[in-house]
Each structure stands twice: as structure tokens, then as C-alpha cells.
């Protein structure tokens, strides 16, 4: 299959096989102090090269061009990750937002609010270090994302979040049990 400017998939694969070790080395050098995935960055660079091959008639892929492309991809990716983290941290609910009540009966709304109150009380009773990772886990973030946002190792986050979630399960069921037994 040929691209718009005559590059076949096979030719592109050969080109990438020739340049990939250098690209990987440059990516490792530029992204060494970050949590960015080298493979994901390399895929983004491949995409940019493919797009460039589609748009230019006589592309030149010398080392300086490749270096500029790698720097551009690393910076763009880092900015996207950082922007997502800032938005995610700003949007973390403190109270009253984990369980949004859709259009429900007044009894159902009251029950939802009570469960939400119990959940927030149980979260506030967790050891302080477990609170943020547990809240973020409940919001759907994975442990790698939480680790990046909280500047912790993924193993630490996994430990804190899952222990916090287990503590919550026990605390919430104990807090709700008397209400259900009546």
C-alpha cells in the first residue's frame, strides 16, 4: 500500500528499522527523568514521521531533524500529561460529589446523600496518607496515574489505595449496617 507521496508500508517499516535505535536513544535521553513511556513516545514519533512523509515530496530525515522531532514529541506529551494532572487534582471532590444523584425520588436522594455522607466520613477516618490515593482510586484513576500526580511510587500508591479501599469497605458496611437492621 502506497501513501500519497509514494511511501509504502514496507518502505516505512525499513526506514523506521534503520532509525529506531537512534530515536529510542534520543527519547531515553530527553525523557529520562519523567514517567513518560518510551514506547508511547516512540509511537508518537513514528506517527509524526509518517505524517511528514505524507505531506512532503522530498523529506530529509537527518539527525538534527529527528532530534527536533523527538524534543517536540516529548515536550508536547509532557505538557498534555501535566495539564491532565492539574485538571484532575483540581477536580478532586472533597465532599458531596462522589455519588451524583440523577433525577430520583426524594427518598432515593436522601438515601444517596446518607451513603455519600457515610463514605466521606469513612474516608476522613482513614490514615491521612491513604485518603488521597483512595479517593482517586474511587474516581477511576489507575495506580500509575495516581503515582504520577502524588509523586509517589506506583507500589506505594497501590498499597495505600487498596488498603484504604479495603478499610472503607469494612467501615462503610459497619456504619450502614445499623441503619439496615432497623
Could you read off the pLDDT of 145-170 as tens digits, one per residue? 888 888 899 999 999 998 998 888 88
Residue with more model confidence, 13 or 89: 13
Where does the pLDDT of residue 180 fall: very low under 50, low under 70, confident under 90, or very high at 90 and above?
A: very low
Range 128-132, long-range pairs (CB < 8 A, 24+ positions): 129/160, 130/160, 130/161, 130/163, 130/164, 130/167, 131/164, 132/92
Q: Which domains does the chain have, with CATH numbers?
A: 9-90 (1.10.1740), 106-181 (1.10.10.10)
Spatial separation of the C-alpha atoms in residues 83 and 80, rounded to whole Å: 5
Single pTM value for the model? 0.43
CB half-sphere exposure, 73, CA atoms < 13 A: 27
Angle between helices 128-138 and 154-181 (to 10 degrees): 80
CB crowding 137-168: b at 16 or more within 10 Å, else e = bbeebebebbbbbbebeeeebbebbebbeebb
Spatial separation of the C-alpha atoms in residues 138 and 160, rounded to whole Å: 13
Amino acid at each position: 500500500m502506497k501513501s500519497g507521496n509514494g511511501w509504502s508500508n514496507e518502505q516505512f517499516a525499513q526506514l523506521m528499522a534503520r532509525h529506531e535505535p537512534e530515536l529510542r536513544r534520543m527519547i531515553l535521553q530527553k525523557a529520562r527523568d519523567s514517567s513518560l513511556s518510551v514506547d508511547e513516545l516512540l509511537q508518537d514519533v513514528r506517527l509524526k514521521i509518517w505524517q511528514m512523509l505524507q505531506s512532503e515530496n522530498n523529506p530529509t530525515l537527518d539527525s538534527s531533524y529527528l532530534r527536533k522531532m523527538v524534543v517536540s514529541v516529548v515536550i508536547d506529551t509532557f505538557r498534555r500529561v501535566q495539564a491532565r494532572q492539574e485538571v484532575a487534582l483540581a477536580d478532586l471532590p472533597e465532599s458531596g460529589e462522589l455519588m451524583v444523584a440523577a433525577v430520583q425520588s426524594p427518598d432515593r436522594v436522601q438515601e444517596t446523600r446518607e451513603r455519600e455522607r457515610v463514605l466521606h466520613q469513612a474516608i476522613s477516618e482513614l490514615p491521612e496518607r491513604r485518603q488521597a490515593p483512595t479517593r482517586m482510586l474511587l474516581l477511576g484513576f489507575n495506580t500509575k496515574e495516581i503515582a504520577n500526580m502524588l509523586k509517589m511510587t506506583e507500589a506505594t500508591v497501590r498499597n495505600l489505595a487498596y488498603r484504604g479501599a479495603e478499610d472503607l469497605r469494612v467501615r462503610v458496611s459497619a456504619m450502614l449496617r445499623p441503619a439496615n437492621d432497623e
